[in-house]
Amino acid sequence: MPGYMKSVVPEPEKPVFKLIDEFNNTYFKNWKKTELIYYSNAIAGEVGELCNLVKKEYGGGTNLNMTVDKLHEHMLDEIADIYIYLIMISKKLGVGHSQETFDDVIRHKLAIIKDRMEKKSFKTKLLPELEKERTSTKPNSQP
């Protein structure tokens, strides 16, 4: 955990999903009725802010007088915002009622990606051999 956060972590024993629910129920009473488009736009904005900070780390943009450590602190804050909106979107879709349910969705997606990667690996190993075979059987263009 970054040093700047150690004194402000609320209720570390409570699951994040529950903390987000309690926070939103207290401060944003109608959050469950908010349209999904709001959350998708909000998450896009947070991703944009994260990308802007990454750009600054690599010398782009203005206001470059921030240290790398400070930039990383801000990046972590944006990542937290993104994660909160991801949880809220998953809750809105009916799959984010607990960390375990959210984790199951992630595990399922990772299994799909793994399957794709293994098939891609097979193709990338096989295709050069097929191409080599195909080109070696081309009719000779010499007279």
Specify the CATH number for the domain of residue 83.
1.10.287.1080
Q: What is the structure's pLDDT at 141?
A: 45
- Looking at the fold, whether 26 and 85 belong to one and the same domain comes out as yes
Please tell me whether residues 86 and 117 are part of one structural domain.
Answer: no
92 and 102 inside one domain: no
Specify if 78 maps to a domain: yes
For the stretch 53-57, contacts whose Cβ atoms lie closer than 8 Å and that sit 24 or more positions apart, written own/partner, are 53/78
Measured distance CA(138)–CA(131) in Å, rounded: 11
Q: For 41-89, how does the pLDDT look when each residue is reduced to its tens digit (9 = 90+)?
A: 999 999 999 999 999 888 877 666 788 899 999 999 999 999 999 989 9
Residues 73 and 93 in one domain: yes
16 and 53 part of one domain: yes
89 and 27 in a common domain: yes
pLDDT value for 8: 61
Identify whether residues 92 and 103 lie together within a single domain.
no
Say if residue 137's pLDDT is above 70. no
Say if residue 34 is in the same domain as residue 91.
yes
Does pLDDT of 143 surpass 50?
no
Mean pLDDT of 93-114: 82
pTM score over 0.85: no
Examine the domain organization and report whether 22 and 90 are in the same domain: yes
pLDDT value at 15 more than 90? no
Least confident interval from 25-34, 86-95, 98-107: 98-107
Number of domains in the chain: 2
Query: Which helix (H) or strand (E) is 68 found in, with range?
Result: helix 68-92
CB contact set of 79 (below 8 Å; sequence gap of 6+): 50
Does 93 lie in the same domain as 33? yes
Domain carrying residue 93:
12-97
| First and final C-alpha spacing in the chain | 73
